[in-house]
Amino acid sequence: MPTPSGAPLAYRPELHGVRAIAVWLVVVQHWAAPPVMLGEMGRLVFFVLSGYLISGIVWKQQAYPGAPGPWGRRLGTFYLRRLLRIIPPYYCALALSALLPLATVREHPLWFLLPAANQLFYHLQRWGEGCGHLWTLAVDEQFYLLWPALLAVVGRRVRGLVLVAALGLAFRVGWSLLVTPGFMLLLLPASLDLFAAGTLLRRLETSTGGLDRWARGRYVLLAWAVWWGLWGWLHPVQGGNIWIVVFPAVGAVAAFFTLAWLLGRAGAARRLGLTHPALVWMGQRSFGVYLYHLLLPVFWQRVVYTLWPAGSEWREILLGPLPTLLVLTPLLIGLSAASWHFIEGPLDRVKRHLRYA
C-alpha cells in the first residue's frame, strides 16, 4: 500500500554525506575557479534536496492551507522552525560581513536582512564582494514561504508537480527572450523545476513500489553525462544563453536520479562512503560552511595585502588556488564547527520543543 502522507521522514545519514560533497563542490568552485561547473552541480543537488525535505515535512505535518484541523497553527510552527534554523546563523554571518567590512552589505543592508539578496543582485546585475553566494539562501527562504501554499493547490498529484517543473523551464525561456538572460537564474521562478523535482521524488517515494523503478545507477551516469555534454557543447559558444535556460532542467533530472538511487539503494550510499562519520559530521555543518566560505577569501586577501608590500611575488603566490585551499580549508571547518556548536546546535534543540499541533 502507498505510505500515507503523514509518514515520518526517516533519518538518512547519507543525505548528510550528499550535503558535505555538494557544499565542497561549491567551495572549490569559488576558491580555485576550475574551468568546469562543479559549483553548479552542488547547487542543483541542494535545491532538489530542499524540495524533497521541505515537501516531506509539509505533507507529514499537514502544514499547508486548507489541511484538516488547525492548519494555521501547524503552518506557523513550520515557518517558526525554518526561521530558527536559518535566520540566526545567517544574521551572524551578516554581522561579520559588516565588520569586515563588505561594501555591498553595508550599502544595501535591508536587502540582506529581509533576506532578498537575489533580488538585489538581479537589480544591480553584478555580484557583491564576499556575499554573492547569499542569493541562494534568499531563494531558499522565498521557497519556504511559497511552497506550502503551492502544495495546497497542487496536492500530491504527479501531473501537477510535473506542470510546476515545466513552469520553471517556461519562465527561463520567456524571461530570457522578453527581458534578459543576465542574472535570470537568481529569480525564484527560475528554480521551480529543481524544487518540483525534489517534491516529485518525495511523492514517488511514498507510492506503491517506492523508488525502485527510478533507483538505477545507469540513470545517474546518463543524466550527468548529458548535463556535461550540453555544457561542453553550448557553454563556450553563442549558445551560452541556451545553456542558461536548459541546464537547470537537465540538472534537476540528474539530481533527481542521483537522490533516487541513493535513497532507493541503501548499499549504494554505503559503498560510496556517504555514511562515513566524517562526511556525516561535515554534512551537519554544511550550512556554516556555505555561509562563511566567501568571507574567508576576502579576509585572506586583506591579510596578504597588509603583510606583503605591493610588487611582492608572495602576493601572487599566496593568493593562488592551492595556497588558498590549504590555508582556508581548516579555518572554514573550524568556523563552521563553531557555528554549529554555539548557534545551530542549541537552536536545533530549541526547535525540537516547537511541536506541530
User: Is residue 312 classed as helix, strand or coil in its secondary structure?
Assistant: coil
Q: What are the C-alpha distances in Å from 51 to residues 132, 147, 270, 295, 327?
A: 22, 9, 23, 27, 34
CA-to-CA dists, residue 168 to 49, 55, 121, angstroms: 17, 17, 20
pLDDT of residue 208: 80
Task: State the average pLDDT over residues 104-111.
Answer: 96
Of 199, 213, 212, 211, the residue nearest 157 (C-alpha): 199
For the chain, the distance separating the N- and C-terminal CA atoms, rounded to the nearest angstrom, is: 27
**Position 13 pLDDT exceeds 70:** yes
- All cell numbers assigned to 24: 565542497
- In contact, 303 and 309? CB cutoff 8 Å: no
Cα-only R_g, the chain: 21
Taking a C-beta distance cutoff of 8 angstroms, is the pair 90, 97 a contact? no
Closest CA to 187 of 213, 167, 159, 211: 167
Q: Average pLDDT of 64-72?
A: 95
Q: Strands (DSSP E) along the chain, which ranges?
A: none
For the whole model, what pTM was predicted?
A: 0.94
| pLDDT at residue 236 greater than cutoff 90 | no
pLDDT of residue 2: 35
pLDDT band per the 50, 70, 90 thresholds, residue 332: very high
- The single residue listed with the C-alpha cell 588558498 is 324
* Whole-angstrom distance, CA of residue 335 vs CA of residue 290: 11
**Spatial distance between the Cα atoms of 341 and 351, rounded to a whole number of angstroms:** 15
Query: 282-321: per-residue pLDDT in tens?
Result: 999 999 999 999 999 999 999 999 999 888 899 999 999 9
Per-residue pLDDT, 12 = 87
Domain limits, the chain: 13-351
pLDDT at residue 355 greater than cutoff 60 = yes
Kindly indicate the confidence band of residue 178, based on its pLDDT and cuts at 50, 70 and 90: very high
Q: What angle do CA 145, 248, 169 make, to 5 degrees?
A: 75
What is the predicted pLDDT for the residue at 239?
A: 62
On whether the CB atoms of residues 249 and 196 are closer than 8 A, the answer is no
pLDDT in tens, 111-157: 999 989 999 999 999 999 999 999 999 999 999 999 999 999 999 99
Torsion of CA 117, 24, 249, 63, to 10 degrees: -60
Mean pLDDT of all residues belonging to the chain = 93
